Chains A and B, each alone.
Chain A
C-alpha cells in the first residue's frame, strides 16, 4: 500500500528523445507513478534528449529538471511537475513518502448555511476527487497532509490544509468575480456568464426582500448600473417607472419587458397619464402596474438584460431591455423546509415645503374680512400680527396666524406589514415550493389602503430524460382609495396650495354643509376641500393568475426539445365615485343629485406559446450551441364600463340609482408571431461567437409593413484564460462586443390605422321634441395605415475584469440608434385633431455603464464591501424624418404651462415653456403701464428632462454576525418644470414673493420696451400672478437631480445562537430604513421623487404627487 520512493525504483527508458509529455508518459507506463502538471505550459513540444537511459526514476527526473528547469515533487505515487523560474537554487526533486491516507468527511455550505450540492472536492496534486451530494456532504480518502480544493460555480474556490482532520466542514463564499457564473438569458436559456457578449446584471433576492418597498422594484433604485428606477409620488399602491439605458422612443412606451420564468407578463401601468385612461371625471389615481403583483419573497434571482443584443431573442417588446425574474420552484436543499418572512415598516410623510409665513391669506394686501368666497389659496394678504383675525367659511372669525404644519397634520403615518410563509421540498429528481403571503399597506392618506395576497406554487420534476417544471402565481390586489394626485380637484395634494393662514382644523370641521354638500372655503371651486375629498372613493380589485408550464426532453445529452405555455390573465374590477355635492360639479337637473359613479371591469389575457430546439455539443476545442424556436403572443383586452350620473337618491352610489347611464364596451386584440434562432460557437472555452436572428409579424401593422427580420451578433474573449502568463493579480479578464437590431410595434395601439366614430349614448331632441342620434369622429389622433415597425440598432463593447481576487469591475459602452419611431406628434388643432401617429426620424443614446466592487478590508471577523455603479447616458435626436415639418415635435403638454419636445440636434425630452422677455443685453423687460413682466416672444428651452447620470454606492460592513449597509443613489443632469413651485409662486407662498410686500408694489428689475430702466409699479399680487395668465414657466425651472441616502440596513444573524437540533434552523433580523434622507436636491417644496405623472411624454413636467415617505421598520426571516 505504501509507495516507493523514486530514488528506490529503477527504470530503463524506451527512448531518449521526446517531448516532456512523452518522456514522462514512458515512466508512467513502467511504474505506479502518476504525473500531474500544475503548470500546463511545461507540456510543450520542445524535444529533450536524455543522456542516460537507465537509473532510478529520480535520476531521470533530475536530468529532466535540469534540461527544462523543472521541479518535481513526489507525494506517494503522485508526482507533480512545475516550472521553476530562472536562477532558482532550490531542490529540483522533492520526495514525500509514507504518509498515510485518511478518510475525510464533511459538508459544504454557503454563508447562510444552505448546503451546496454538486461542489467539486479535489486533492491538490492528485486525481483524487469527488462531488458533494444533495445535502452538501462528501467523503474522500486523502493523504493526511494533503490539501483540499473545494470549488463550485459562483463561489470562491477554497484551499484547505487537511492537517490530519477527519471532519472538514467548508463554508464557501460567494464569488464576486463570478468566473463560472451561470446567467439565465433570453427565453430562459442558461449560459455561462463568460460567454456573453453583452451586459447583464444579476440581482440577489436579498436586495429585494430585506429592505423592501411595496412595489419591490423600487428598492432596487441605484443598485443596478444603467437602470433608472423612479418611484412615483403616488403612494404604496402606485406604479414604478423603469428605464434602461435612457429612453429610446420619443414618446410612448419605454418600459422594459418583464419576464417571469421565461414567459412575458403584462406590465401595463395604471399611473397618472400612464398606459390607461379610465372613465370618470377627475380620476387621477395611480393603481399600480404589472410588477406590483409580485411578492419579492418568491423571487430567487433577477437578471437585467440591458442591451438590444441581450434581448434580441425577445423581439419587439424588449427594445428597452428585459427584467428576468426567476421564482422558486423547489427547496434549495433536500427535504422539507419552511421559511417565514415578516416585514414591517412605519412610513412618515416628508414635508419639504419652504413657504413664507410672514404674510397671511388674502388678496391685494388685505386679509379676508368677509366670508365666502375667500380665495383659500392666495397668501397676498396682510403681514401677520398678533391679535389679527380672518373671516372664513360662513363668517367664522379665527386668528390670523401662520399654519406651517399642514402637510404633517393632514397626512397620517403609513405602515406596511407583510408576511410570507414558504413551504418547499427538494430531492434528487425535483421538488416544489409553495408560498402564501399577505401584505397590508396603509398609505399616508387617511382611508387609503393596499392589500396584496399572493400564492405561488412552483415545481420541477425529472422523469428520466423529461423535465417538467412550472409555476402558478395567484395574486389578489385590493387598492382602496388610491389617492388622486397631480391635480387640485378632489385631491389631497391641494394642501400644497392652501394659503399660509388657512387652518386645517377648520377645513375639517367645515368640510360639509348641513346638506352634506361641500362647504365652500375657496372661490376656486376646483380646490376641493381636502377633507371633503375624502368622500371620494375608488376601489380597484385585481385578481391575477399567471404562470407557465415547461416540458423539456433531453433527446441526447447534447440535444433537447422544449415546449412552453404561459398565460397571464387578470380581471380588474374597479369602482369609483365623484362625491355628490362638491363645489366643482355643476348642479344636477331638478330632482336629482350630482356626482358620478363608475364601474368598470377589464379582463386581460396574454398567452405565449413557444417551442425551442436546442443542441450543445463539443467538437474538440470547439463548442457549438444552437437554439431554434418560435413564439406566438396573443393579447386580448376587453373592458366594460358603466358611468352613472344624476342620482335619484343621495349618497347611494350604484348604477341602478343613476338616471343617466353611459355604457361602453371595448375590445382589442393583438398578436405577434415570431420565429427565431440563435447559435454560439466557442473555442477552447475562452472565445465565443454568438448570433441570433428573429422574424416578427405584427398584427397591428398593415400586411405590407408587418414583417421584420432583425439579427444580432456578439463576441466574447476571456483573455485571462487565453494567455497563461498573465500576472497573478489578474484573476479574470474578458472583452465583449455586440451588435443587435430589434424591431418594434409597441407604440401602436391595435386598430390605430382606422378612423372610428362614436354615437352618443344620449340622443338629442329635435325641434319637435323627437330624440335624434348624435355622433362624432372618435379620438383626437389622426390614424395612419402606413406605419412601419420601429427599429433599434445597438452597438456595445464591454470589459469585465477581476483583479487581486477582490476587485471586480465592469465597463460597457453602448451606442443605441432608434429609427422609424412611432409617435403621437402634436399637430395644429386647425386640422381637427390634436396628434398624429407617424413614423419619425432617428435618435441615439450613447452611454457608459460602470460597475465596481471591492472589499478594502477583509479579515476573519470583519469585512467592508464597497460597490459602486454609475451610468452615463447622452441622448440626441438626429432627425425627425420626412413626415415632420420643422425641427421639433411637441409630445406632451403640462396642464397649465410648459411642454416637452423632441428637437433635432438636442438630447431627447427637451423642456420648453414661456419665459420672461429680455432685451439684447439680457435685461428683463416690463410693461411700461402695468409694470408686469412681459412674456418672451417664443418659448424658451430649459434642457432635457432625462437624467444623464444615474447610479449608486453601496457600503456594507460585516462584523461576525452583524451587518450594516447603506445605499446612496444619485440622478443628475436633468431639469424639471415644477408645477408645485408655480402654484406656490403665484399664490404668494414662495418666499420669492415677499419682495415688494412691505411697500405694496413691485418694481421689476429691468427695463421697459424702450430700454429705459423700469419704474412702473405693479401691485404685488398682479405682478406674481402674471405667470399664470402668461403661462410662464421660466421661474419654475429647476435642476431635477438629487443625491439621496436611500437605504440603511442593520442586520444580525441569530442562527448561531440557536442550539443545534432545534426546530428553528436559521434566524435573521434586520432593521431597515428606506428614503432615509435627501442629501442634495435643487427643487424647492417637494421631494425630488414626488412627481405624480408617470408618462414619458410628460417627463419633467412636475405636478404635485403624494408626499414621499421615509420608512423605518424591520425584517425577520426564520427558517424551520
Chain B
C-alpha cells in the first residue's frame, strides 16, 4: 500500500488514549480519579504495570511499526522525498513521546521485526535518541520542497509543505528545549535554529487529530461511557483557574451540583458557571475522601467538577498534539533565556491568547471572547523574576489533555509548582513525583538482556528513575 496511508494511521493513533489519564494527566494534577482498580496509577502513586505499558504498546505496535515499514518501502521510491521527510517528522514526534515516558528505549532497531528480522531490539540511550531526533527533524525540514512529490493524501495538513515545515520546526523547538537542563548550549542552538526556520503561525498550523464518528477520541468515549463518574478536575488546576479568574475554566469544566451518585450526573444538574467549580483534592480514595467531601459541603464525591464530557470531552472532540500556543510559550522561554529572538512577554501573551482561541476549535460554545482574552492578558503580565514559572505554568494549562507534554515540560522546567500526591503507600522511593513509567512486563521477560543494559545506564526500572534530560537541580 501507499506509505501515506500508514502515515495517516500513525497520526490518528497518536491521539492520547484513556490510559493517558491514569498517569500523565494525573501526575501533573489536571485530573484525578479517587477510585482504585483499573484506574490505579498516578492517583495512588502506584506502579500499576497493566497501565504503565499503554504508550509502549500503542506506539511500537502501530505508530512505530507502520512508520518504519513505510519508510523502508520508500527506499525504493527515491523520488518521494517529501513523503519521506514528513514521515520522519512524525516518527520524531512518536519517539519523543516514547523516550520521555520510559527513558532508554529501542530506537535504531525499533519496528524492524520484519524488515531486518530484529525481534529483540537493543535499547538506545535517551541522549543518542535525542541527538538523532534533532538531526532528523532538521534534515527533514530542510529537505521538504514544494516542487518535489505531492503528499496530498496525508491527513494532517492535506499536503501543505509549508505547514509541515512549521510543524517540523516547532517539534525541533520542543525537542531542543527538552535539553535545557542537561545541555543548555545545545538547547539554545536548536531553539535558535527552530525559530529561524519558521514556527507555527496560527492555530491553523496545530497538529491535531480530528476525530469523527468512525475514528473517535479514546478519552471522550470512555468519559461518555461507563467511566463517566470517575474522573474529576484536580483541585490544583481548578484553583489555578479560580485564582487567576481564568475564563477557560468555564469552557473546560462542569459540575453536577448536588450529585449523590453517578446517576445524578445528568444535564439537568449541570452547572458550568465559573464560581460553582470545585476541584477534587489529591491524596484520597473514594472512601477516605468522604470526610473531605463533608467538610467542603458537597453532596458526595460525585459533586466535584469534571471535564465537560459534552464538549471538550466529547467522543468526537479533536485531540491536539502540537499546538501553536505551546510553540509560542516555548519560544517565549527561549527568548527569555536569550536563545532566540523575540520579546518574551509578547510571546507569552500570544501563547495564552492562542490557547484561549483554541477553545473554539473544540466547540463554538467553548469560545472565549476577545474581550475576555484581552482583559486576562492585561491582568497577567510576565512578572520579572517569575518568567519561567509563569510561562511554564501557562504551558501546563495549554497542554491540558496532552498529558505526555504537560508531564514532560513539568519535569523539565519544574513548573507549575505542584503539591506532591500525599496518598499514603506510595511506590515512590525518594522522588516527590513520578519521573518515568516502568517498562512493560513483556519486555522484562523476553528482552531482559537489552533492558539490563538500559537500566545499568539509566537507573532501575522504577517510577523514581529520572530520564537523561531530567537531571536533578
Contact = CB atoms under 8 A, between A and B. Distances in A.
A363 B300 contact: no
A757 B72 CA distance: 14
A481 interface: no
Given A364-B287, A764-B215, A939 B9 contact: no
Given A775-B6, A777-B6, A830 B262 contact: no
Interface residues of A, number: 81
A834 B446 contact: no
B11 to A, nearest CB: 8
Interface in A341-356: none
A560 B288 CA distance: 86
Contacts of B260: 370-371, 395
B113 A832 contact: yes
A572 interface: no
Given A830-B106, A830-B110, A394 B261 contact: yes
A813 to B, nearest CB: 36
A774 B153 CA distance: 10
B102 to A, nearest CB: 10
Nearest to A901: B445
B47 A1029 contact: yes
A896 interface: yes
Interface residues of B, number: 92
A524 B225 CA distance: 11
Contacts, number: 257
Contacts of A939: 441, 444-445
B210 interface: yes
Interface string B91-115: 0000000000000011001111110
Contacts of A759: 1, 5
B344 to A, nearest CB: 31
Contact of B8 (A363, A659, A772, A836): A772
B229 A832 contact: no
A1025 B285 CA distance: 14
B449 A885 contact: yes
A930 B261 contact: no
A372 B261 contact: yes
Contacts of B156: 766-767
Contacts of A762: 214-215
Interface stretch (B116-124, B335-343, B350-358, B362-370): B116-124
B425 A830 contact: no
B315 A586 contact: yes
B443 A523 contact: no
Contacts of A88: none
Interface stretch (A119-127, A434-442, A821-829): A821-829
A1031 B49 contact: yes
Given A584-B226, A780-B61, A1031 B6 contact: no
Contact of A829 (B57, B66, B114, B157): B57
Interface centre among A777, A889, A1022, A1028 (most CB of B within 10 A): A777
A774 to B, nearest CB: 5
Given A766-B154, A832-B110, A775 B61 contact: no
Interface in B31-57: 35-38, 40, 46-50, 56-57
Contacts of A524: 37-38
B66 A773 contact: no
Nearest to B57: A829
A768 B163 CA distance: 13
Contact of B114 (A589, A755, A1019, A1031): A755
Interface string A893-935: 1001001000000000000101000000000000101111000
A932 B444 contact: no
Interface centre among B6, B287, B426 (most CB of A within 10 A): B287
A1021 B158 CA distance: 52
A1104 interface: no
B424 A370 contact: no
A912 B448 CA distance: 15
A435 to B, nearest CB: 51
B261 A826 contact: no
Interface string A1017-1036: 01101100100111100000
A430 interface: no
B361 to A, nearest CB: 12
B120 A828 contact: yes
B242 interface: no
Nearest to A896: B50
B12 A774 contact: yes
Interface in B152-199: 153-160
Contact of B287 (A366, A395, A831, A931): A366
Contacts of A889: 446
Contacts of A386: none
Interface string A769-790: 0101111110010110000000
Interface in A274-292: none
A526 B227 CA distance: 10
A774 B262 contact: no
A773 B225 contact: no
A939 B448 CA distance: 12
A836 B119 contact: yes
B261 A829 contact: no
Contacts of B316: 589
B426 A930 contact: yes
A585 to B, nearest CB: 6
B64 A832 contact: yes
B376 interface: no
B239 interface: no
A40 to B, nearest CB: 69
Interface stretch (B77-85, B127-135, B216-224): B216-224
Contacts of A363: 36, 285-287
Nearest to A986: B37
B214 A583 contact: no
Given A759-B5, A893-B442, A930-B425, A833 B49 contact: no
B447 interface: yes
A979 to B, nearest CB: 14
A834 B440 CA distance: 13
Contacts of A765: 155, 210, 212
Given A395-B260, A524-B37, A772-B154, A764 B8 contact: yes
B433 interface: no
A1022 B425 contact: yes
Contact of A782 (B110, B114, B300): B114
B400 interface: no
Nearest to A934: B427
A927 B425 contact: yes
Interface centre among B229, B263, B300 (most CB of A within 10 A): B263
A371 B262 CA distance: 8
Interface centre among A394, A766, A772, A774 (most CB of B within 10 A): A774
A886 interface: yes
A833 B119 contact: yes
A897 to B, nearest CB: 9
Given A762-B215, A832-B65, A1018-B425, A767 B158 contact: yes
A366 B285 CA distance: 12
B155 A832 contact: no
B419 to A, nearest CB: 18
B241 interface: no
Interface in A572-626: 583-587, 589, 592
A365 interface: yes
Q: Which A-B residue pairs are the 6 nearest by beta carbons?
A: A525-B226, A832-B65, A586-B221, A930-B425, A364-B287, A831-B113
25 contacts: A370-B261, A371-B263, A394-B261, A394-B263, A395-B261, A520-B226, A523-B37, A524-B37, A584-B226, A586-B315, A589-B216, A589-B315, A765-B155, A766-B155, A773-B4, A777-B6, A831-B110, A832-B60, A832-B114, A834-B61, A836-B113, A836-B119, A1022-B425, A1029-B50, A1031-B49
Given A660-B214, A777-B69, 13 more contacts: A394-B263, A525-B227, A589-B213, A660-B213, A759-B1, A774-B9, A774-B12, A782-B119, A827-B119, A833-B113, A889-B446, A1025-B37, A1029-B50
